Amino acid sequence: MARQLSGRGPPVWTVFVAGALVTVLVGVLSLAGAETTLAAALPVLGFLFALLLFATALDRAGAIDHLARWLLGRARRSSDLPAVLFVGFGIASAFLVNDALAVLGVPVLLSVSRRLGKPARPLLLVLAFSVTVGSVLTPFGNPQNLLVALNSGIALPVVTFLRFLLLPTVASLVLGAFYLRKVFGPELASPAPEYAALRSEAPRLFPSGGWRQRLLRAPVLWVFPGTLLTIITWEVMAAFTHGPDVPAWQTALGGAVVLLLATPTRTGIVRRLNWEILLLFAGLFVVVGGAAHGGVFAALESHFPVPGPGEPRGGILAITGWSLLGSQLVSNVPWVALQLPLLKAAGYSAATPVAWMALAAGSTLAGNITLLGAASNLIVAELSEKAGVPLRLGTFVRYGLPLAALTVGLLLVALLLGV
Protein backbone atom coordinates (compact mmCIF):
# COMPACT_ATOMS: atom_id res chain seq x y z
CA MET A 1 0.00 0.00 0.00
CA ALA A 2 2.83 2.39 0.88
CA ARG A 3 4.50 1.68 -2.45
CA GLN A 4 1.29 2.25 -4.40
CA LEU A 5 0.51 5.52 -2.65
CA SER A 6 4.03 6.94 -2.84
CA GLY A 7 4.89 5.63 -6.30
CA ARG A 8 8.28 4.56 -4.95
CA GLY A 9 9.72 1.26 -3.93
CA PRO A 10 10.55 -2.14 -5.37
CA PRO A 11 8.28 -3.81 -7.95
CA VAL A 12 5.18 -5.43 -6.48
CA TRP A 13 6.30 -8.94 -7.38
CA THR A 14 9.47 -8.57 -5.29
CA VAL A 15 7.36 -7.54 -2.29
CA PHE A 16 5.37 -10.77 -2.47
CA VAL A 17 8.41 -12.96 -3.12
CA ALA A 18 10.18 -11.37 -0.14
CA GLY A 19 7.05 -11.89 1.95
CA ALA A 20 7.01 -15.56 0.98
CA LEU A 21 10.67 -15.98 1.94
CA VAL A 22 10.12 -14.31 5.31
CA THR A 23 7.03 -16.46 5.89
CA VAL A 24 9.21 -19.55 5.61
CA LEU A 25 12.34 -18.15 7.30
CA VAL A 26 10.56 -17.11 10.50
CA GLY A 27 8.69 -20.41 10.69
CA VAL A 28 5.15 -19.21 10.03
CA LEU A 29 5.04 -21.86 7.31
CA SER A 30 7.52 -24.70 7.00
CA LEU A 31 9.41 -25.33 3.78
CA ALA A 32 7.35 -28.47 3.27
CA GLY A 33 4.20 -26.44 3.88
CA ALA A 34 5.27 -23.88 1.27
CA GLU A 35 5.91 -26.66 -1.24
CA THR A 36 2.47 -28.12 -0.53
CA THR A 37 0.89 -24.70 -0.98
CA LEU A 38 2.61 -24.15 -4.32
CA ALA A 39 1.71 -27.65 -5.47
CA ALA A 40 -1.95 -26.90 -4.75
CA ALA A 41 -1.61 -23.64 -6.70
CA LEU A 42 -0.19 -25.30 -9.83
CA PRO A 43 -3.53 -25.19 -11.73
CA VAL A 44 -3.73 -21.41 -11.29
CA LEU A 45 -0.06 -20.86 -12.12
CA GLY A 46 -0.30 -23.18 -15.13
CA PHE A 47 -3.42 -21.48 -16.47
CA LEU A 48 -1.87 -18.04 -15.96
CA PHE A 49 1.33 -19.15 -17.70
CA ALA A 50 -0.67 -20.32 -20.72
CA LEU A 51 -2.67 -17.08 -20.96
CA LEU A 52 0.44 -14.91 -20.64
CA LEU A 53 2.17 -17.02 -23.30
CA PHE A 54 -0.76 -16.51 -25.68
CA ALA A 55 -0.76 -12.75 -25.03
CA THR A 56 2.98 -12.48 -25.66
CA ALA A 57 2.73 -14.48 -28.89
CA LEU A 58 -0.20 -12.37 -30.10
CA ASP A 59 1.79 -9.22 -29.43
CA ARG A 60 4.83 -10.54 -31.33
CA ALA A 61 2.57 -11.48 -34.22
CA GLY A 62 1.23 -7.92 -34.36
CA ALA A 63 -2.32 -9.05 -33.61
CA ILE A 64 -2.91 -6.59 -30.73
CA ASP A 65 -1.70 -3.62 -32.77
CA HIS A 66 -3.79 -4.81 -35.72
CA LEU A 67 -6.89 -5.06 -33.53
CA ALA A 68 -6.36 -1.57 -32.09
CA ARG A 69 -5.92 -0.03 -35.56
CA TRP A 70 -9.04 -1.85 -36.75
CA LEU A 71 -10.96 -0.43 -33.80
CA LEU A 72 -9.94 3.08 -34.83
CA GLY A 73 -11.72 2.53 -38.10
CA ARG A 74 -14.97 1.68 -36.30
CA ALA A 75 -15.29 5.22 -34.89
CA ARG A 76 -16.85 7.61 -37.40
CA ARG A 77 -15.55 10.63 -35.51
CA SER A 78 -12.65 11.00 -33.12
CA SER A 79 -15.14 11.94 -30.40
CA ASP A 80 -16.54 8.39 -30.72
CA LEU A 81 -13.17 6.83 -29.85
CA PRO A 82 -13.83 6.51 -26.08
CA ALA A 83 -16.97 4.45 -26.72
CA VAL A 84 -15.46 2.27 -29.44
CA LEU A 85 -12.22 1.60 -27.55
CA PHE A 86 -14.09 0.90 -24.31
CA VAL A 87 -16.25 -1.77 -25.95
CA GLY A 88 -13.44 -3.18 -28.10
CA PHE A 89 -10.79 -3.49 -25.40
CA GLY A 90 -13.48 -4.62 -22.97
CA ILE A 91 -14.44 -7.56 -25.18
CA ALA A 92 -10.78 -8.41 -25.79
CA SER A 93 -10.05 -8.42 -22.04
CA ALA A 94 -12.66 -11.14 -21.54
CA PHE A 95 -10.39 -13.53 -23.44
CA LEU A 96 -6.94 -12.23 -22.56
CA VAL A 97 -5.62 -11.55 -19.08
CA ASN A 98 -6.40 -7.87 -18.55
CA ASP A 99 -2.96 -7.15 -17.08
CA ALA A 100 -1.34 -8.33 -20.30
CA LEU A 101 -3.78 -6.34 -22.42
CA ALA A 102 -3.01 -3.22 -20.36
CA VAL A 103 0.70 -3.64 -21.08
CA LEU A 104 0.05 -4.05 -24.81
CA GLY A 105 -2.59 -1.32 -25.10
CA VAL A 106 -0.70 1.64 -23.62
CA PRO A 107 1.84 2.13 -26.44
CA VAL A 108 -0.88 1.73 -29.07
CA LEU A 109 -3.03 4.47 -27.53
CA LEU A 110 -0.04 6.76 -26.97
CA SER A 111 0.64 6.50 -30.70
CA VAL A 112 -3.01 7.30 -31.50
CA SER A 113 -2.92 10.41 -29.32
CA ARG A 114 0.24 11.65 -31.06
CA ARG A 115 -1.31 11.11 -34.49
CA LEU A 116 -4.45 13.01 -33.49
CA GLY A 117 -2.56 15.73 -31.66
CA LYS A 118 -4.85 15.16 -28.68
CA PRO A 119 -4.09 14.40 -25.01
CA ALA A 120 -3.38 10.76 -24.23
CA ARG A 121 -4.84 10.80 -20.73
CA PRO A 122 -8.49 10.21 -21.76
CA LEU A 123 -7.50 7.28 -23.98
CA LEU A 124 -5.40 5.70 -21.22
CA LEU A 125 -8.21 6.08 -18.70
CA VAL A 126 -10.59 4.41 -21.16
CA LEU A 127 -8.10 1.54 -21.48
CA ALA A 128 -7.89 1.10 -17.70
CA PHE A 129 -11.67 1.21 -17.29
CA SER A 130 -12.37 -1.13 -20.22
CA VAL A 131 -10.02 -3.96 -19.22
CA THR A 132 -11.62 -3.91 -15.78
CA VAL A 133 -15.26 -4.04 -16.92
CA GLY A 134 -14.79 -6.50 -19.79
CA SER A 135 -12.61 -8.91 -17.83
CA VAL A 136 -15.50 -9.64 -15.45
CA LEU A 137 -17.09 -11.96 -18.00
CA THR A 138 -14.84 -15.05 -18.02
CA PRO A 139 -12.52 -16.99 -15.70
CA PHE A 140 -9.55 -16.08 -17.89
CA GLY A 141 -10.31 -12.35 -18.02
CA ASN A 142 -8.20 -11.51 -14.97
CA PRO A 143 -6.18 -13.22 -12.23
CA GLN A 144 -8.78 -12.85 -9.48
CA ASN A 145 -11.45 -14.54 -11.63
CA LEU A 146 -8.97 -17.33 -12.24
CA LEU A 147 -8.47 -17.74 -8.49
CA VAL A 148 -12.21 -18.01 -7.92
CA ALA A 149 -12.74 -20.39 -10.84
CA LEU A 150 -10.07 -22.85 -9.74
CA ASN A 151 -10.25 -22.59 -5.94
CA SER A 152 -13.94 -22.15 -5.14
CA GLY A 153 -14.96 -25.62 -6.29
CA ILE A 154 -17.65 -24.39 -8.70
CA ALA A 155 -18.36 -26.79 -11.55
CA LEU A 156 -18.01 -25.66 -15.17
CA PRO A 157 -16.50 -22.24 -14.36
CA VAL A 158 -16.74 -20.82 -17.90
CA VAL A 159 -20.44 -21.69 -18.14
CA THR A 160 -21.05 -20.41 -14.61
CA PHE A 161 -19.40 -17.05 -15.27
CA LEU A 162 -21.36 -16.61 -18.50
CA ARG A 163 -24.60 -17.67 -16.82
CA PHE A 164 -24.42 -15.04 -14.09
CA LEU A 165 -22.24 -12.28 -15.52
CA LEU A 166 -23.00 -12.05 -19.25
CA LEU A 167 -26.01 -9.75 -18.92
CA PRO A 168 -24.53 -7.26 -16.42
CA THR A 169 -21.24 -7.15 -18.34
CA VAL A 170 -22.91 -6.45 -21.69
CA ALA A 171 -25.09 -3.77 -20.07
CA SER A 172 -22.02 -2.24 -18.38
CA LEU A 173 -20.10 -2.09 -21.66
CA VAL A 174 -23.00 -0.46 -23.51
CA LEU A 175 -23.93 2.12 -20.85
CA GLY A 176 -20.28 2.71 -19.93
CA ALA A 177 -19.52 3.48 -23.59
CA PHE A 178 -22.17 6.23 -23.63
CA TYR A 179 -20.85 7.64 -20.36
CA LEU A 180 -17.21 7.76 -21.51
CA ARG A 181 -18.14 9.25 -24.87
CA LYS A 182 -19.95 12.02 -23.06
CA VAL A 183 -17.11 12.87 -20.66
CA PHE A 184 -14.13 12.35 -22.98
CA GLY A 185 -15.57 12.80 -26.48
CA PRO A 186 -15.33 16.62 -26.62
CA GLU A 187 -11.70 16.52 -25.47
CA LEU A 188 -10.77 14.14 -28.29
CA ALA A 189 -12.73 15.85 -31.09
CA SER A 190 -10.47 16.53 -34.09
CA PRO A 191 -11.07 18.27 -37.43
CA ALA A 192 -12.72 15.85 -39.85
CA PRO A 193 -9.85 15.74 -42.41
CA GLU A 194 -7.23 14.83 -39.79
CA TYR A 195 -9.23 11.98 -38.33
CA ALA A 196 -10.39 10.81 -41.75
CA ALA A 197 -6.74 10.37 -42.74
CA LEU A 198 -6.04 8.29 -39.63
CA ARG A 199 -9.21 6.26 -40.08
CA SER A 200 -8.41 5.51 -43.70
CA GLU A 201 -5.33 3.58 -42.53
CA ALA A 202 -7.42 1.17 -40.46
CA PRO A 203 -7.02 -2.39 -41.74
CA ARG A 204 -9.70 -5.00 -42.27
CA LEU A 205 -10.21 -7.24 -39.27
CA PHE A 206 -9.49 -10.33 -41.40
CA PRO A 207 -7.11 -9.37 -44.22
CA SER A 208 -7.80 -11.04 -47.55
CA GLY A 209 -5.32 -13.55 -48.95
CA GLY A 210 -2.07 -14.90 -47.62
CA TRP A 211 -3.62 -16.75 -44.69
CA ARG A 212 -1.61 -19.92 -45.20
CA GLN A 213 1.69 -18.10 -44.78
CA ARG A 214 0.26 -15.95 -42.01
CA LEU A 215 -0.83 -18.96 -39.95
CA LEU A 216 2.47 -20.76 -40.55
CA ARG A 217 4.44 -17.70 -39.50
CA ALA A 218 2.30 -17.01 -36.41
CA PRO A 219 0.68 -20.26 -35.15
CA VAL A 220 -0.86 -18.35 -32.23
CA LEU A 221 -3.48 -17.05 -34.67
CA TRP A 222 -5.02 -20.53 -34.82
CA VAL A 223 -3.80 -22.11 -31.58
CA PHE A 224 -5.24 -19.40 -29.30
CA PRO A 225 -8.81 -19.31 -30.71
CA GLY A 226 -8.72 -23.09 -31.02
CA THR A 227 -7.83 -23.43 -27.34
CA LEU A 228 -10.59 -21.04 -26.25
CA LEU A 229 -13.12 -22.80 -28.46
CA THR A 230 -12.12 -26.17 -27.00
CA ILE A 231 -12.49 -24.94 -23.42
CA ILE A 232 -15.92 -23.45 -24.04
CA THR A 233 -17.13 -26.42 -26.11
CA TRP A 234 -16.11 -28.95 -23.46
CA GLU A 235 -17.93 -27.04 -20.73
CA VAL A 236 -21.08 -26.44 -22.76
CA MET A 237 -21.24 -30.12 -23.70
CA ALA A 238 -20.66 -31.15 -20.10
CA ALA A 239 -23.42 -28.77 -18.96
CA PHE A 240 -25.97 -30.23 -21.37
CA THR A 241 -24.96 -33.89 -21.25
CA HIS A 242 -23.78 -34.01 -17.61
CA GLY A 243 -20.74 -35.84 -18.91
CA PRO A 244 -17.12 -35.52 -17.77
CA ASP A 245 -15.47 -32.13 -18.04
CA VAL A 246 -11.81 -31.50 -18.85
CA PRO A 247 -10.46 -28.82 -16.47
CA ALA A 248 -9.93 -25.56 -18.36
CA TRP A 249 -6.40 -25.13 -17.04
CA GLN A 250 -5.35 -28.46 -18.54
CA THR A 251 -6.76 -27.49 -21.93
CA ALA A 252 -5.03 -24.10 -21.73
CA LEU A 253 -1.71 -25.73 -20.88
CA GLY A 254 -2.17 -28.18 -23.73
CA GLY A 255 -2.73 -25.27 -26.09
CA ALA A 256 0.40 -23.56 -24.75
CA VAL A 257 2.46 -26.68 -25.44
CA VAL A 258 1.09 -26.89 -28.99
CA LEU A 259 1.94 -23.21 -29.50
CA LEU A 260 5.53 -23.66 -28.37
CA LEU A 261 5.99 -26.74 -30.54
CA ALA A 262 4.47 -25.04 -33.61
CA THR A 263 6.25 -21.69 -33.26
CA PRO A 264 9.78 -21.42 -34.71
CA THR A 265 10.49 -18.32 -32.59
CA ARG A 266 9.42 -19.98 -29.35
CA THR A 267 12.58 -18.87 -27.53
CA GLY A 268 11.79 -15.21 -28.11
CA ILE A 269 8.24 -15.66 -26.83
CA VAL A 270 9.43 -17.37 -23.64
CA ARG A 271 12.01 -14.65 -23.02
CA ARG A 272 9.44 -11.88 -23.40
CA LEU A 273 6.91 -13.60 -21.15
CA ASN A 274 5.93 -11.54 -18.11
CA TRP A 275 7.53 -13.86 -15.55
CA GLU A 276 7.10 -11.21 -12.83
CA ILE A 277 3.35 -11.87 -12.70
CA LEU A 278 3.96 -15.59 -12.15
CA LEU A 279 6.50 -14.86 -9.41
CA LEU A 280 4.03 -12.45 -7.80
CA PHE A 281 1.40 -15.19 -7.68
CA ALA A 282 3.80 -17.78 -6.34
CA GLY A 283 4.79 -15.43 -3.52
CA LEU A 284 1.16 -14.48 -2.92
CA PHE A 285 0.11 -18.11 -2.47
CA VAL A 286 2.84 -18.76 0.10
CA VAL A 287 1.99 -15.58 2.04
CA VAL A 288 -1.71 -16.44 2.06
CA GLY A 289 -0.89 -20.02 3.06
CA GLY A 290 1.12 -18.69 5.99
CA ALA A 291 -1.72 -16.36 6.94
CA ALA A 292 -4.13 -19.30 7.02
CA HIS A 293 -1.72 -21.46 9.02
CA GLY A 294 -0.94 -18.64 11.43
CA GLY A 295 -4.56 -17.88 12.29
CA VAL A 296 -4.92 -14.58 10.47
CA PHE A 297 -8.15 -15.68 8.78
CA ALA A 298 -9.73 -16.62 12.08
CA ALA A 299 -9.02 -13.11 13.34
CA LEU A 300 -10.31 -11.47 10.17
CA GLU A 301 -13.64 -13.27 10.36
CA SER A 302 -14.66 -11.12 13.31
CA HIS A 303 -13.83 -7.89 11.46
CA PHE A 304 -15.31 -8.77 8.06
CA PRO A 305 -18.58 -10.50 8.93
CA VAL A 306 -20.35 -12.14 6.01
CA PRO A 307 -23.77 -13.80 6.34
CA GLY A 308 -23.73 -17.51 5.60
CA PRO A 309 -25.31 -19.28 2.63
CA GLY A 310 -28.64 -19.29 4.45
CA GLU A 311 -28.94 -15.54 3.76
CA PRO A 312 -28.22 -15.33 0.02
CA ARG A 313 -29.14 -11.69 -0.52
CA GLY A 314 -27.30 -10.50 2.56
CA GLY A 315 -24.32 -12.59 1.52
CA ILE A 316 -24.22 -11.09 -1.98
CA LEU A 317 -24.39 -7.55 -0.63
CA ALA A 318 -21.77 -8.16 2.06
CA ILE A 319 -19.33 -9.99 -0.24
CA THR A 320 -19.62 -7.31 -2.92
CA GLY A 321 -19.36 -4.44 -0.45
CA TRP A 322 -16.32 -5.83 1.37
CA SER A 323 -14.69 -6.59 -1.99
CA LEU A 324 -15.12 -2.99 -3.13
CA LEU A 325 -13.51 -1.74 0.08
CA GLY A 326 -10.87 -4.41 0.59
CA SER A 327 -9.57 -4.17 -2.97
CA GLN A 328 -8.69 -0.52 -2.38
CA LEU A 329 -6.53 -1.55 0.56
CA VAL A 330 -4.54 -4.47 -0.83
CA SER A 331 -5.61 -4.59 -4.56
CA ASN A 332 -8.12 -7.11 -5.85
CA VAL A 333 -5.95 -10.19 -6.40
CA PRO A 334 -4.64 -10.39 -2.80
CA TRP A 335 -8.12 -9.57 -1.51
CA VAL A 336 -9.67 -12.51 -3.36
CA ALA A 337 -6.86 -14.80 -2.19
CA LEU A 338 -7.65 -13.76 1.40
CA GLN A 339 -11.41 -14.15 0.99
CA LEU A 340 -11.48 -17.62 -0.57
CA PRO A 341 -10.65 -19.51 2.66
CA LEU A 342 -12.83 -17.15 4.72
CA LEU A 343 -15.91 -17.79 2.60
CA LYS A 344 -15.28 -21.53 2.57
CA ALA A 345 -15.09 -21.45 6.36
CA ALA A 346 -18.42 -19.57 6.40
CA GLY A 347 -20.04 -22.44 4.49
CA TYR A 348 -19.86 -21.28 0.89
CA SER A 349 -19.13 -24.05 -1.61
CA ALA A 350 -19.75 -25.21 -5.17
CA ALA A 351 -23.46 -25.19 -4.32
CA THR A 352 -23.42 -21.38 -3.90
CA PRO A 353 -22.06 -20.09 -7.24
CA VAL A 354 -23.74 -16.68 -6.94
CA ALA A 355 -21.61 -15.83 -3.91
CA TRP A 356 -18.43 -16.66 -5.80
CA MET A 357 -19.59 -14.53 -8.74
CA ALA A 358 -20.15 -11.65 -6.32
CA LEU A 359 -16.58 -12.07 -5.04
CA ALA A 360 -15.04 -12.27 -8.53
CA ALA A 361 -17.05 -9.47 -10.13
CA GLY A 362 -17.14 -7.20 -7.07
CA SER A 363 -13.38 -7.33 -6.59
CA THR A 364 -12.82 -6.76 -10.32
CA LEU A 365 -15.16 -3.78 -10.66
CA ALA A 366 -13.52 -2.30 -7.56
CA GLY A 367 -10.64 -1.52 -9.90
CA ASN A 368 -12.58 1.42 -11.35
CA ILE A 369 -12.91 3.20 -7.99
CA THR A 370 -9.25 4.11 -7.48
CA LEU A 371 -5.89 3.39 -9.07
CA LEU A 372 -5.07 1.12 -6.13
CA GLY A 373 -7.96 -1.25 -6.76
CA ALA A 374 -6.42 -3.30 -9.57
CA ALA A 375 -2.97 -4.32 -10.78
CA SER A 376 -3.98 -3.42 -14.34
CA ASN A 377 -4.53 0.19 -13.21
CA LEU A 378 -1.04 0.34 -11.76
CA ILE A 379 0.40 -1.08 -14.99
CA VAL A 380 -1.34 1.61 -17.07
CA ALA A 381 -0.28 4.32 -14.60
CA GLU A 382 3.34 3.18 -14.52
CA LEU A 383 3.72 2.91 -18.30
CA SER A 384 1.95 6.19 -18.95
CA GLU A 385 4.11 8.01 -16.38
CA LYS A 386 7.24 6.71 -18.10
CA ALA A 387 5.86 8.22 -21.30
CA GLY A 388 5.36 11.59 -19.59
CA VAL A 389 1.59 11.27 -19.11
CA PRO A 390 0.99 10.89 -15.35
CA LEU A 391 -2.41 9.58 -14.21
CA ARG A 392 -3.36 11.21 -10.94
CA LEU A 393 -5.43 9.47 -8.30
CA GLY A 394 -7.93 12.33 -8.16
CA THR A 395 -8.48 12.31 -11.92
CA PHE A 396 -8.98 8.56 -11.92
CA VAL A 397 -11.56 8.71 -9.11
CA ARG A 398 -13.38 11.62 -10.74
CA TYR A 399 -14.18 9.58 -13.86
CA GLY A 400 -13.93 6.05 -12.51
CA LEU A 401 -16.21 6.34 -9.48
CA PRO A 402 -19.42 7.09 -11.46
CA LEU A 403 -18.58 4.23 -13.82
CA ALA A 404 -17.95 1.90 -10.87
CA ALA A 405 -21.28 2.90 -9.31
CA LEU A 406 -23.07 2.15 -12.58
CA THR A 407 -21.43 -1.23 -13.18
CA VAL A 408 -21.70 -2.42 -9.57
CA GLY A 409 -25.36 -1.42 -9.54
CA LEU A 410 -26.01 -3.48 -12.66
CA LEU A 411 -24.11 -6.40 -11.15
CA LEU A 412 -26.11 -6.35 -7.92
CA VAL A 413 -29.43 -6.15 -9.76
CA ALA A 414 -28.48 -9.15 -11.89
CA LEU A 415 -27.20 -11.27 -8.98
CA LEU A 416 -30.01 -10.39 -6.58
CA LEU A 417 -32.72 -11.02 -9.17
CA GLY A 418 -30.97 -14.10 -10.52
CA VAL A 419 -31.09 -12.91 -14.15
Reported as a single tens digit per residue, the pLDDT across 187-198 is 888 776 767 777
**Phi, psi angles (nearest 5°) of residue 392:** -85, 150
> Can you give the pLDDT at residue 419?
60
pLDDT 10s digits, 287-307:
888 887 887 766 766 676 778
The average pLDDT across 157-185 equals: 95
pLDDT 10s digits, 48-104:
888 889 988 988 888 878 887 787 788 888 889 999 999 999 999 998 888 888 888
| Angstrom distance (rounded) from CA 162 to CA 369 | 24
SS3 of 207, please?
coil
> Can you give the pLDDT at residue 304?
65
| Angstrom distance (rounded) from CA 230 to CA 251 | 8
> Can you give the pLDDT at residue 227?
92
Among residues 355, 349, 363, 352, the alpha carbon closest in space to that of 321 is found at: 363
Among residues 65, 36, 141, 104, the alpha carbon closest in space to that of 357 is found at: 141
> For residue 115, what are the contacts with CB-CB under 8 A and spacing of at least 6?
198
Check pLDDT > 60 for residue 4: no
pTM for this entry: 0.82
Check pLDDT > 80 for residue 351: yes
Average pLDDT, the chain: 87
> Can you give the pLDDT at residue 248?
81
Among residues 33, 36, 38, 32, the alpha carbon closest in space to that of 16 is found at: 38
Task: Please check whether residue 364 is in contact with residue 137, taking contact to mean a CB–CB distance below 8 angstroms.
Answer: no
Task: Please check whether residue 53 is in contact with residue 256, taking contact to mean a CB–CB distance below 8 angstroms.
Answer: yes
* % residues pLDDT > 70 (the chain): 95
| Angstrom distance (rounded) from CA 71 to CA 203 | 9
| Angstrom distance (rounded) from CA 205 to CA 227 | 20
**Phi, psi angles (nearest 5°) of residue 51:** -65, -40
pLDDT band at 131 (very low <50, low <70, confident <90, very high): very high
Q: Residues of 28-44 as b/e, b for ≥16 C-beta within 10 angstroms? A: bbeeebbeebbeebebb
